[in-house]
Structure 1
Amino acid sequence: MSSLGNRKVLDMRIRIIELVLRCVILGLGILAALRIGTDTQVREIFSFQKKAKFTDMKALVFLVIANGLVACYSLIQGLRCVVSMVRGSVLFSKPLAWVIFSGDQVMAYITVAAIAAAGQSAVFSKLGQPELQWMKICDMYGKFCNQVGEGVVCAFVVSLSMVILSCISAFSLFRLYGANKKNSTSW
């Protein structure tokens, strides 16, 4: 097989992997936002009703917004991938590659920050913080914490997928620059 044939096979594999990751991010991003955003639990404490909802923890609000944002972004980029595959065109121009690379980087950073913040809040909710007299909220709101936990796991997979996708977009971008160089044996 020629070098050009190998390159086309590699391009097709990269596009398929990118499309699969974008679909995973879209589906799990929506699922995470819905699992967390629709979760509530009402408890009666000393004849008062207290309702736990995701807006009570700002880290969860950030996680829901981040997952909604990354899901929308992945939908748009997924459509671009499908159009690119149907047309059979090679990836794109350098300016467009830079835009996609930058967008993927921003989304990866946002999802990593959101999952880190939600993870810390989850640890405090589950374990409490005795030194600050913060109680274990999950002991009182078990159903709420379990559903949030499911959403956080989905969001973690979204974040990990976005990091992998940003590496793929970096590879695709910088490969465009390597293709124009003459074959040289010097480093």
Structure 2
Amino acid sequence: MEFRIARGEVFLRVIAILLLVLTAFLVVFDTQTKVVFLTIEKKVTYKDVDVLKILLYVSSSAAGYNMLQLCKYSCSSKGSYEMCMVWISLLLDQIAVYLTFATNTALFEAAIFAFTGSEAFQWLKVCNKFTRFCEQIAGAILCCYVASILMAMISIISAYKVFRMYSPKRFLRLKGK
């Protein structure tokens, strides 16, 4: 049973890493140039929107963190600090999920304003002019949400590992010694 859980966690981490890297690539390599007026061109990149830069940093960091967690399986050793490492792993998994989800949700909000505009703020509909850019960012948002869901599932597995250590049977057995 424990082997199946570990194998499932590795599978989820690999898929999450691939989706996070795909998100980063979709954001970084997304540019579009449009002629605004006669010979004046406007080029839009991820550097024009601050939340896209933040999403790039967060998704890259989360992919790197998940890669480090995968390395944990190749050099795992049973030691007295196992309980501490399981707690730290749960905490870091939670932080990665919440940061990724929050950043992606902020980007989704900015994308809604870019798509619909806002008359109250006098913001124009940007996606009418830069449709390919907006479509590629929408793909990045979708990939990052799926990665967030997968990382939430990984966090559930981490919580299971923590609370498994506090089972009543194990506590009673340790107390009896």
TM norm. shorter chain > 0.5: yes
CA distance in 2, matches of 1:58, 1:17: 35
CA distance in 2, matches of 1:173, 1:28: 26
Q: Give the counterpart letter for 1:31 in structure 2.
A: L
Percent of residue pairs identical: 29
Query: What residue is the counterpart of 2:49 in the other structure?
Result: 57
Instruction: List gaps (5 residues or longer) in structure 2.
Output: none
Aligned pairs for 1:170-181 (under 5 A) are 170-178=159-167, 180-181=170-171
Query: What residue is the counterpart of 1:74 in the other structure?
Result: 66
Query: What residue is the counterpart of 2:109 in the other structure?
Result: 120
Query: What residue is the counterpart of 1:101 in the other structure?
Result: 90
| 3-state DSSP of counterpart to 2:171 | coil
Query: What residue is the counterpart of 2:158 in the other structure?
Result: 169
2:20 counterpart of 1:29? yes
2:4 counterpart of 1:13? yes
Q: How far has the Cα of 1:68 moved from its partner? A: 0.3
Could you tell me whether the CA contact under 8 Å between 1:54 and 1:60 is conserved in 2? yes
Q: Give the counterpart letter for 2:170 in structure 1.
A: N
CA distance in 1, matches of 2:117, 2:71: 44
CA distance in 1, matches of 2:74, 2:144: 24
Structure 1 stretches of 4+ moved >3 Å? none
Alpha-carbon RMSD across the aligned residues, in angstroms, is 1.8
| 3-state DSSP of counterpart to 2:172 | coil
Query: What residue is the counterpart of 1:41 in the other structure?
Result: 32
Cα deviation digits, residues 92-140 of structure 1 (max 9, x gap): 7101101111110110111111111111011111111122221111100
Query: What residue is the counterpart of 2:122 in the other structure?
Result: 133
Instruction: List gaps (5 residues or longer) in structure 1.
Output: 1-8
Aligned length: 170
Query: What residue is the counterpart of 2:147 in the other structure?
Result: 158
| 3-state DSSP of counterpart to 2:170 | coil
CA distance in 2, matches of 1:98, 1:32: 28
TM-score, normalization by structure 2 = 0.89
TM-score, normalization by structure 1 = 0.85
Q: How far has the Cα of 1:34 moved from its partner? A: 0.5
